[in-house]
Amino acid sequence: MKDTKKTLRNRQNTLLSGLSSGELNQEVESISRHLLDFVLAYPEPFSLFCFLSTPLEFPTWSLLEDIHRRKKYQKIYVPRVMSSVKHGAKMDFFPLHFGDGVIDKNYMDQNNWGIWQPLPDKDDARVLEKEETGLIILPGLLFDLKGTRLGYGGGYYDRYLAGLAGKAILISPVRSISLSPIPLPQEAHDIKLNYLALDDGIYSIG
């Protein structure tokens, strides 16, 4: 099964790397609109957790800025890698700061892969354990309609979410290019999504 996942990851990474910016941006506007509406209508109170996208991922920077402009009091947290895969693949979420309606990079740095992440703050560590509930927007390479998510292989999200059942609702934005027509392989530790944000709307995993 691990070999199958590795093959799927390699194939999808190659596919995404070969797309033009125009092809990568197909469906982004409609998916972002559905996801924005979903977040704005989500029952209060909750904290929002979301990945900060890299060039090949579904873009979240403008989405988070839109959420902030529409809902300034909303708590938004983004991930920071705390240790490498070799040392446990740990990450945590810390507050995202804004200035004049845009994400403020003065409160951020870049890791060894060039990914922007928030500066750590021990007072805000393990925030999801302290909050009543969280809505988490997850990244991924491939997804299926059963809520299976194929990540990048590091296991960061699976480790972070382990033991938080019932406190987090999980949703991912999914372009057609990342929606598998057949069920993806899954293992016991894989955590299922609750929703997919698709081009034609929000899909609830039954």
State the pLDDT at residue 30: 98
Question: pLDDT tens for residues 100-129?
Answer: 999 999 999 999 888 999 998 776 666 666
- Flag whether pLDDT at 138 surpasses 60: yes
CB-based contact 161:137 (threshold 8 Å): no
State the pLDDT at residue 167: 78
CB-based contact 131:125 (threshold 8 Å): no
Helix (H) or strand (E) holding 15, with range, is helix 2-17
Distance CA 47, CA 31 (A): 21
- According to CATH, the superfamily of the domain at 2-204 is NagB/RpiA/CoA transferase-like (3.40.50.10420)
> For residue 81, which of 93, 98, 65 has the smallest C-alpha distance?
93
State the pLDDT at residue 3: 62
- Flag whether pLDDT at 1 surpasses 60: no
Amino acid (1-letter code) at residue 37 = D
Q: List the beta bridge partners of residue 37.
A: none
* Percent of the chain whose predicted confidence (pLDDT) is above 70: 92
State the pLDDT at residue 189: 78
Distance CA 11, CA 24 (A): 16
Region of 153 on the Ramachandran plot (φ > 0 left; ψ -120 to 50 alpha; else beta): left
Residue 132: which pLDDT band, with cuts at 50, 70 and 90?
A: low
Distance CA 74, CA 78 (A): 13
* Two structure tokens written together for 4: 């199958």
Widest CA span of the chain, in angstroms?
A: 47
Question: pLDDT tens for residues 57-80?
Answer: 999 999 999 999 999 999 999 999
> For residue 12, which of 172, 155, 178 has the smallest C-alpha distance?
178
Residue 181: which pLDDT band, with cuts at 50, 70 and 90?
A: very high
- Flag whether pLDDT at 160 surpasses 90: no
State the pLDDT at residue 90: 86
**What's the mean pLDDT in 34-52?**
95
User: For the chain, how many helices (H) and strands (E)?
Assistant: 6, 13
**What's the mean pLDDT in 86-103?**
90
State the pLDDT at residue 83: 85
- The rounded mean pLDDT for the chain is 90
**Structure-derived torsion over alpha carbons of residues 130, 113, 58, 119, reported in degrees to the nearest 10:** 30
